[in-house]
Chain A
Amino acid sequence: MGEFTIHNIRFYDFEPKAIQCMAYEDETNRLALSRADGSIEIWNCISRPFMQLVLHGDTHTSIEALQWCKGRLFSAGLNGFLLEHDLATSGVKSCTAVTGGPTWCLALSADKKKLAAGTEEGYVCIFQVLEEGIIYENSLEKQEGRILNICWHCSGDYIVTGSMNCIRVWSLKEGRVTRCSLGQTSGDEEIIVWCVGILDDMTVISGDSRGAICFWNAKLGTVTDVVQTHKADVLCLVVCPDQKSVYAAGIDPVITQVSYVQTGSKKPKGCWMKSVLRSVHTHDVRALALTKDEALFSGGVDTILTMTSYPPKTVIKFPPQLYPGSISVAGEAESILLRYKEHLELWQLGSSSEDSSPSARYLPISQDRVKLLELHCRKDEVIDWCAMSPQAGWIAYIVKGNLRIFQFYPPKLGSHPSVRRVRGISKEIKNSWQVLWLGEARLASASTDGIIQIIALSEMEANLQTNLTVKPGCNVIQMNCNPEGSVLVAVDDSQNVTAFDLDQGTSATLPSYTCPVTAIGVHPSTKDIVVVYSDMMIKEYCLATQRYTPFCREFLSTNSLNSVKRNSVIHNVTFDSRNPNLILLHDDSSIIVLNKTKKITDQNFSKAAKIQCSYSSSDKGGISFYKSSRVNNIGVFSFIKRSNQVIYFSYVKDKSAVSVELNPLQLLDKLPPALKRKKYGGV
């Protein structure tokens, strides 16, 4: 049915960073997490969680605290500013200085009207959250030592902070501070209170560097319970909505649940006890976030976002995702553009001399890959997005919203490859955060104010051709087009999918759907639009008839990938230009081929029979070669399981496709050493 030559690329040095902090908002089902490089990822958790948006960070700062407030995202870090992020433009909406410099923690009051920030110099700053922005209200009395963690009581009258050797309970009404001292263990060794929480009954919970969770009576300032949960520092804790359980983790990466139990039958006495343990991380856990359904998100140094819940025991790991705009494939030129922080690399893909019916699974490489270009940006700049035209004649990248376009001259006999920057960029062209090549010399740029600008290019200048608009008040979050660039399809932040026929100048909005879009694609020959949603539903829309295609209506509406139990969403949609019936999809672990010609019945789909398929065999010199791989055929879908994480997959040209993969073991090698735990029978 489909013969492909896959270019397995594992030389892309994709180095995900540790998760620093997290915040979850139940109202919008969104999780915000920051990584060690200062970037913030917004994960949509309405159906299957997936990374919807990336706010690129500044390399010189770190995000230490995140806080949602009515759909608005606030962050604070060591730069000493409280930022409000604009999720529509991926920029910063407002920036307010915090008294006391570097900020370690943020907390939102229960009425969601005030934000408290704990700082390096011992100040707690209170801000009012207004529709227009945030306003500094006051600072509480300066205390000795940095404030590492902060939380707000449900009444709004008390704030609890964690510092070195002590926990402070601040009464906002009375202006009084109660100090709960932890004392010192031995000698001058300090106890660092990394995390605090407060229950409605004024029980303060703290996690410290001894690996203990302490429960305090906030009124008296005395310890009521101490549970030694970990062998090393407890870095984060989160309180369950029912206030009867606490989850904690830290350098000892076991997530421990501490539950409130009643003991004794005659005179029941409540105490906190160590409960269920979850060993889902290999390295330090730095952040925890809990949903109202008690699904616990955790992340840390091992870079993997994990969602756990119990009962039933559920563990779903979300490996670090490639940021959109990191890889661009020039199909015609068989080249791939890889984005790094400060430079771009353009590689010519290799080839094999093997004939059309190769005998082995891995083909001999007759011509190896060649690095054609390494394009560096200016010092101290970070490239946010890159794109390359189908014939590799043009390269564009974005630095802090500024578009830079280059014309690329491939190597010819006797000459080296070269690039020339297009300097004459029209002033009408606005700052953008995403670009897409519509064939050669034509570019679609999603500007930060929600307009798609079509830019025409000549050797020397870039001029605005036309402006396209999606639904008013919405911003584009994802774009795709067919290889010719005649049909452009865009997804906005309200999950509307709008298709633009650039040749005819018409546009159409696809029927809306309940779940967010994870991937879109436009078929190169039929111009049908394929949309994949986070519940794994696939829709195929015919632009000519402005209706879902018969195949979609007859089959896809009832049989989706949802019935196949997969945790990862579809990241990309691409098509085999030779065969209009094939749709190529990929998730974290598999390449999925949708074959529309397969005659199936509901029965064999629902059974999801696993078929061990051997690759085609052929005899060469009397020896039979078999290629071994597992292809699971489930209904119209064929799942090609990959041993590594697939971070990007795209069809290239003829029968070749490119698969950029990440070996999880390589990632593990780059991580710092984890807490050493003695294992029975181990070293």
Chain B
Amino acid sequence: MAATLLKTSLLCVDFHPRNLLGVTCDGHGSVLITCKGVVKLFNVLDCRELRSWTTKSWNPFTAPAVCDPSSNKIVAVTNNSTLSKWNQDEDDVDKVKRIVFETSILQLLVCGDTVYVVFTSGQVENLNTALESRKKAKPGFLGEEESLSYVQIVKDAGLIVMLVKDKNRSHKLCVLQLQETVSSYCHSYSLSLENAHLTGVCALSSSKLITLWSTGRLHIFDLQNEHLEKPPGRQLAMETSIVTSKNTKILELSQSHIAIVGLDKGDEGGLLVLWDIKFAMVTSSRKLKMYQNPPLAWVSSEGIIVAEGGSLALIQYRVQESNLATMFGAKISEAKEFPSEVCHSWAKIKGIAHQDIVPKEATETICFNKNKELCQIIQELNKGSLSESILVADVVNRLIEKKRLLLLNETVTTFCDIPESCLIDVLDFYMHCKDMEFEGLCEYPHLQMEFEPMEEDADKIVCPFSAAKAHFINRVLKEPFTNAQLLIYLPRISFDHSLILIQYLNYLIVTGEAEVCPAEEVTVPTLYQVSTWLSLLLDTNYHQLVMTSQVNIHRLLLSCFTQVTNVLKFLEGVVDMEPLVDRIVKAKSLSKHTHTSAVYSLEHLSVV
């Protein structure tokens, strides 16, 4: 599966983006959010604040606080040149001893178990070393009019990558050798591109430097093989969805994936784009409410943390090593002799059996787990490598032409990605077929054909299809779909057939065949699926239903209304029960206000 962005959750709300200095991870699933006046420790998993430490306004934090892994203490910089270090159970930060440095501190970096102090002069020192020599000036290598705009430690290569900006706004890439005590200056390169200025940079853990330029060009430069090419290295791709003339932020998600946050080209807000740098392709993107300049985004083990308006949001992501099969979204069609050879991952690892490194989805080809006859039809189509959704459309058309009901059912069952148009075509075809044609084709569960409602004057509810036909139709109704897409194709079903379908869906709700959470083996669609189909059918045929003068249609609609109201009442009851169940699950004592809203209750009272 291709890398993708998952759900967004709200992490923290009470801060102003202008005051936000940065977010760092503490290595225990928590993050430290540093604003000018406060450091907050957040648990990312449940988005809860664990601790916070405030400082006086005349003593503000000036760099993101970090957690020292060796001592588990919080280290923060205040007033540019003062360092504070405190335990997590410390209440008053202002009472903690402050260590004043001669040279201003730019930021703190954590690499392994060590905290490094980056001075504005360009000097990088181990925290302990820096503390010992705090009264000494840190000369560094930067000139008077130069300043650091980016610092990153590449641990595996033992390098510190720095981006130096001079007064002419031109950039210089400096590489330092990471030392245990004081890091030593190694060499520097000029970082420029004709007619473009640098808007984003990221040093990857694989010793590669990704740069994004105002023209949209995304370059990659190998820091360890610098003799082979000149910075900014070879062009990787063109970024087209982000306004690259504005500042962007590039985050490393994995060795093969990066995320770029910038101003959305088509819209006013921001945009988060997930890039696969191996294939130089965008695999996922997410719009953000606002664009901050420079973008406020950080990566933690749980997801990407971005400033969304006045809050911090956590966008979870999933990255996996890509291969062709996962990149192009569909399962590659069966090759004749060697089904899975063509879609092997080329990430060969020594000592691991060949089968083990083949991704699961690569072996699950289009002919996997399918009837021989169906495979033959797919082969006959001879379409080569096609996405499943395009292929299934042809297969369905062919099967409808041939009136192969059983194979259609299998198609619907075995294919995963069925376009909505196909679902409608299959359903319409089933509706045209007579009940008899479905008999004896396969085994189907028993269905109660008639239902006597509890209400005295209510009509008997009858299933409009035979049990066999209903089984086939259920299979289609169970398939996932997008509402908006289905609405486009639903008018293909005639009004008469729509009415019968509405009647059937009503029958499923009334009889309780459609369950809220059915067992896995149940072939009847869920209540949610039934109600969605019902809603879309009513929506599609709204005018005909409104204008009709037929009493039986009105009765049908009234019955639907009654059932929906009943379900609604039931669900409201369930919602009422929710806090009670929640308390039981959390083993909390029950609220003393239980029953206080009942219109009439009997209460036992004992006065001691």
Given that A628-B590, A630-B592, A643-B593 are known contacts, is A4 also in contact with B605, CB under 8 Å in the complex? yes
Q: Say whether B602 contacts A629, CB under 8 Å.
A: no
Q: Do A6 and B603 have beta carbons less than 8 Å apart? A: yes
By the criterion CB–CB under 8 Å, are B604 and A628 in contact?
no
Q: Which of A306-320 contact B (CB under 8 A)?
A: none
For the complex, give the distance between the alpha carbons of A398 and B608 in Å.
41
A6 and B602 CA atoms in complex are apart in Å by: 6
B598 within 8 A of partner (CB) = yes
Chain A proximity mask over B585-608: 1 for CB below 8 Å, otherwise 0:
000011011111111111111111
Residues of A within 8 A of B590 (CB): 628
Of the residues A3, A11, A365, A640, contact of B602 by C-beta under 8 Å:
A365
The yes or no answer to A209 lying at the interface (CB within 8 A) is no
Q: Cβ of B594: which chain A residues have Cβ within 8 Å of it? A: 361-362
How distant is the Cα of A644 from the Cα of B605 in the complex, in angstroms?
16
- Cβ of A1 within 8 Å of any chain B Cβ, yes or no, is yes
With an 8 A cutoff between CB atoms, is A368 at the interface? Answer: yes
- Report if A7-B600 is in contact (Cβ < 8 Å); known contacts: A362-B595, A628-B590, A628-B592: yes
Chain B: minimal CB distance from A447 (Å)? 37
Cα–Cα distance between A363 and B600 once the two chains are bound (Å): 11
Given A629-B592, A643-B593, verify A10-B607 contact (CB < 8 Å).
no
Name B14's closest neighbour in chain A (CB-CB): A681
Report the Cα distance A638→B608, complex, angstroms.
8
Q: How far is the CB of A258 from chain B (nearest CB, A)?
A: 35
CA distance A633 to B608 in the complex (A): 9
- In angstroms, how far is the closest chain B Cβ from the Cβ of A620? 14
Contact A8 B601 (CB under 8 A): yes
Whether B606 and A363, one on each chain, are in contact in the complex, defined by CB atoms closer than 8 angstroms, is: no
Structural contact, A638 and B607, CB atoms closer than 8 A: yes
Cβ contacts under 8 Å, A638 to chain B: 607-608
Nearest neighbor of B605 in chain A, beta-carbon distance:
A4
Question: Is B600 a contact partner of A1 (Cβ separation < 8 A)?
Answer: no
Give the docked Cα–Cα distance between A358 and B602 (Å).
11
**Please, which residues of chain B bring their CB within 8 A of the CB of A360?**
604
Number of interface residues of A (CB under 8 A): 39
Instruction: Report A134 CB to chain B, min CB distance, Å.
Output: 48
Within 8 A of B (CB), among A348-382: 350-352, 354, 358, 360-363, 365, 368-369
What chain A residues lie within 8 Å of B599 (beta carbons)? 9-11
Contacts of A633 in B (CB 8 A): 608
Q: How far is the CA of A640 from the CA of B607 in the complex (A)?
A: 8
CA distance A595 to B607 in the complex (A): 10
Partner of B605, one of A10, A352, A629: A629
Given the known inter-chain contacts A358-B604, A616-B606, A640-B605, please indicate yes or no for A10 contacting B598, CB distance below 8 A.
Answer: yes
Known contacts A628-B589, A629-B592: A362-B606 contact under CB 8 Å:
no
CB distance from B248 to the nearest CB of A (A): 30
Residue from B595, B597, B605 with most neighbouring chain A CB atoms (10 Å):
B605
Residues of B within 8 A of A628 (CB): 589-590, 592
Q: Contacts of B601 on A, CB cut-off 8 Å?
A: 8, 362, 365
Question: Given A628-B592, A643-B593, A369–B604 Cβ distance below 8 Å?
Answer: no
Q: How far is the CA of A352 from the CA of B595 in the complex (A)?
A: 15
A47 sits at the interface (CB 8 A): no
Q: Which residues of chain B come closer than 8 Å to A358, judged between CB atoms?
A: 604
A627 at the binding interface (Cβ < 8 Å): yes
Complex alpha-carbon distance, A362 and B589, angstroms: 15
Give A368's nearest chain B residue, CB to CB: B600
A329 to chain B, nearest CB (A): 15
Is the beta-carbon distance between B593 and A615 smaller than 8 angstroms?
no
Is A593 engaged at the interface, CB distance under 8 Å to the other chain? yes
A276 within 8 A of B: no
Cβ-based interface call for A110 (8 A):
no
Q: Give the distance in Å from the alpha carbon of A628 to the alpha carbon of B589 in the complex.
A: 9
Q: Which of B589, B597, B606, B608 has the most CB of A within 10 A?
A: B606
| A contact residues around B605 at 8 Å (CB) | 2-6, 615, 629, 640
In the assembled complex, how far is the CB of residue B309 from the closest CB belonging to chain A, in whole angstroms?
12
- Is the C-beta of A460 less than 8 angstroms from some C-beta in chain B? no
In the complex, what residues of B have CB within 8 A of residue A593's CB?
Answer: 607
Q: Is A631 in the interface zone, CB < 8 Å from B?
A: yes
Contacting pair B606 A3 (CB below 8 A): yes
Q: Specify which chain A residues have a CB less than 8 angstroms from the CB of B600 in the assembled complex.
A: 7-11, 350, 365, 368-369
One of B589, B598, B603 near A361 (C-beta < 8 A): B603
- Closest approach, in angstroms, between the C-beta of B49 and any C-beta of chain A? 16
Is there contact, CB below 8 Å, between A663 and B597?
A: yes
In the bound assembly, the distance between CA atoms of A627 and B607 in angstroms comes to 12
A668 at the B interface (CB under 8 A): no
Decide yes or no whether A675 CB sits under 8 A from chain B: no
Residues of chain A within 8 A of B606, CB atoms compared: 1-4, 615-616, 627
Pair B607/A352 contact, Cβ less than 8 Å: no
CB pair B607 A4 closer than 8 Å:
yes
For B604, list chain A residues within 8 Å (CB).
3-6, 354, 358, 360-363, 615, 627
B326 to chain A minimum Cβ distance, whole angstroms, is 42
A363 engages B608 (CB within 8 Å): no
A613 close to B (CB within 8 Å): yes
Kindly list chain B residues whose C-beta atoms are within 8 Å of the C-beta of A640: 605, 607
| Contacting residues of chain A (116-172) with chain B, CB-CB under 8 angstroms | none
Tell me whether A350 and B602 are in contact in the complex, defined as CB-CB below 8 angstroms, given that A628-B590, A663-B596 are known contacts: yes
Bound-complex Cα distance A6 to B605 (A): 7
Assess the A8–B608 pair: CB atoms within 8 A: no
Assembled-state Cα–Cα distance A629/B605 (Å): 9
Q: In whole angstroms, what is the CA distance A644 to B600 when docked?
A: 13
Within B49-73, the residues touching A (CB, 8 Å) are none
Contact status A1-B608, CB under 8 Å: yes
Cα A352 to Cα B596 in complex, Å, equals 18
Does B602 lie within 8 Å of A613, measured CB to CB? no
Query: Which B residues touch A7, using CB under 8 A?
Result: 600, 602
Chain B residues near A362 (CB-CB < 8 A) = 594-595, 601-604
Looking at the assembled complex, report how far the CB atom of B153 sits from the nearest CB atom of chain A, in whole angstroms.
Answer: 39
Given contact pairs A8-B601, A640-B605, A663-B597, enumerate 16 new A-B contacts (beta carbons under 8 Å): A1-B606, A2-B606, A2-B607, A3-B606, A8-B600, A10-B597, A10-B600, A11-B599, A11-B600, A354-B604, A361-B592, A361-B604, A628-B590, A631-B608, A643-B592, A663-B596
Question: What are 6 inter-chain pairs, A to B, with CB distance below 8 A?
Answer: A2-B607, A3-B606, A10-B598, A10-B600, A613-B608, A615-B605
Pick the 7 closest A-B CB pairs, nearest first.
Answer: A11-B599, A363-B602, A2-B607, A6-B603, A4-B605, A362-B595, A8-B601
